[in-house]
Structure 1
Amino acid sequence: MPDAERNFGNIYGAIADDASGEGEDTTAEPSSVVIASLNLYKEALVNNDESKAAEVESFLKSIEDKKIDLERKVLTLSEELSKEKDRIFRISADFDNFRKRTERERLSLVKNAQGELMESLLSVLDNFERAKAQIKVETEEEEKIVNSYQSIYKQFIEIMGSLGVVPVETVGKPFDPMLHEAIMREDSSEYEEDVVIEEYKKGFQLGERLLRPSMVKVSAGPGPAKLETGGPSENEREDKVTDKKGKTEATVAEE
């Protein structure tokens, strides 16, 4: 048995004997053990009992060594706990980033699928538009057919709208090469330069994605002033005035 443990047994036994002799609980708290040890140490010094004093000193030193060892273990465990907390936080953050990235990718796939589907259906919409422009109702039966057609066309537009598909704004809006495809420019006194003045084919957007640009005519601004057909120009009018004035003066001179 190590000396420290033997000293601890001797000192603790002496403390327990003193406590039992006084009718106290023999289960001593660490603080009371230290206090009792100090009291024994004091008695040993008073009685000049060097052996007893040495045992008490050895015992107190063993307590101090255990205290230091426990503090070191607590510090080590605290560091390990802090590292584990950091690791758990990193894992949690990585998982949260993974979840967000997965959700973004899922939404992107859904939008791409919707976009591809809508792009394939735009030709159907164009056929509806062409049929609407070409149909001429002459009989009551034809009117019923047109009404049925209009109902299907309206339902088709509503479904596209519910999926987030909206037409590109054109007439009266500034020309945007990211949204419009200009196939013609024309002088216009009604619209400023680079403003859309006519739409030939509808364009559509799905969110921020352009499904198809609008084919449009764009204003080139007011053109040069046009002369009246068959009328005299300003120069011609001035020449006539001059000629008339000259003739008048000549007539007066003759008279």
Structure 2
Amino acid sequence: MMAGAVSCWNHQFKTLELKFTPLFTIPQNSLRRRCKFNPNSAVGFRPSFKSFLRSKHSQEPQIHESKSDGKAGQRPLLDLKALVGMYKEAVYDNNEEAVSEIEAMLQKLESEKIELVQKVASLSAEIASGKERSVRLQADFENHRKQSEKKQLRLTTNAQEEVIGSLLTIVDKFEKAKQQVRPETEKGKKIDTSYQGIYKQFVEIMRSLNVSVVETVGKPFDPLFHEAVSREESQQFKEGIVMEEIQRGFLLRGRVLKPALVKVSKGSGLKKVPNTQDEAIGHPTVSSGADK
């Protein structure tokens, strides 16, 4: 027994009611312990705890310093553990003054903890907001880039359509000349060969500009690509199939520059009465033997 201690049978026992912080929980039974010592000896609590209270101001900077040097979670946790141990000793010793001071220190630590949690939450929200803005800006940039590319392609295509459309007349003239001219002399054959060479070069240039020919014979009639000049009976093609090409059609990157003039089959005609209104509508019939 310590000096000044008396028998607990001759003294009125004291109890201490405490408010707890959310940092820890102490069983209710531990708050109502029988005093082991004389109440007069309460001022003489353990020297280690006295030293802790005297040095609390010098220890607080160490706690803040540990937060700033990137080692948060080491020193503060050790101090908190020691502080909780001291708090338990003060409760056991029934020392109200010590309990009050330790509670104030624990409350300060709790406030610092709440402040740090709020800062972390704020920084996390800022980071998330920054990432979201970055994603939106990236999406806006991609949309703008695609729209600019489409606009540029549309302008280029429109300009090419105007130029190529005017050149298609030359192609038609070459086609008609090839169908009508039948060279019989050596001189005529040489001239025809020269014209065919020029025509082939012209075709290669058109291909380099992404100009293609509309498919006709054997394909289903499509008003987007074909223009029917007549509908005739055919033993070879079913109804609605292009049976003959009158004039070539052309595409530029899939867009119609000029529809093809075609004849469309009405079928075999074995079960139908011929209709004279479906004959040619004023356009001369040209042989389908033209070179494509």
TM-score, length of structure 1 as denominator length: 0.68
Tell me what 2:237 maps to: 191
Taking a change above 3 Å as real, the CA distance of residues 79 and 173 of structure 1, as seen in their structure-2 partners, is closer
Contact preservation (8 Å) 1:11, 1:56: no
Q: How does 1:17-166 map to 2 (within 5 A)?
A: 29-42=75-88, 44-45=90-91, 49-166=95-212
Q: How far is the alpha carbon of 1:42 from its aligned partner?
A: 4.7
Name which of structure 1's ranges 185-194 and 91-100 shifts more when overlaid on structure 2. 185-194
For the residues of structure 1 that align with 2:235 and 2:166, how far apart are their CA atoms? Answer: 39
Tell me what 1:11 maps to: 56
* Structure 1 residue corresponding to 2:247, chosen from 188, 193, 201: 201
For the residues of structure 2 that align with 1:216 and 1:39, how far apart are their CA atoms? Answer: 101
Q: Unpaired runs of 5+ in structure 2? A: 1-51, 62-73, 272-292
Instruction: Please list the CA deviations of residues 140-186 of structure 1 after superposition, one character each: whole Å capped at 9, or x if unmatched.
Output: 33322221211110111122223332222223333222222122233
Q: How far is the alpha carbon of 1:127 from its aligned partner?
A: 1.6
Paired residues, what number?
208
For the residues of structure 2 that align with 1:74 and 1:147, how far apart are their CA atoms? Answer: 84
Give the counterpart letter for 1:99 in structure 2: R
Any idea what SS the aligned residue of 2:222 has?
A: coil
Tell me what 1:213 maps to: 259
Any idea what SS the aligned residue of 2:227 has?
A: strand
Tell me what 2:226 maps to: 180
Taking a change above 3 Å as real, the CA distance of residues 157 and 14 of structure 1, as seen in their structure-2 partners, is closer
Whose helix fraction is larger, Structure 1's or Structure 2's? Answer: 1
For the residues of structure 1 that align with 2:204 and 2:54, how far apart are their CA atoms? Answer: 92
Tell me what 1:241 maps to: none
Over the matched positions of the two proteins, sequence identity in percent amounts to 46
Alpha carbon RMSD of aligned pairs, Å? 3.1
TM-score, length of structure 2 as denominator length: 0.61
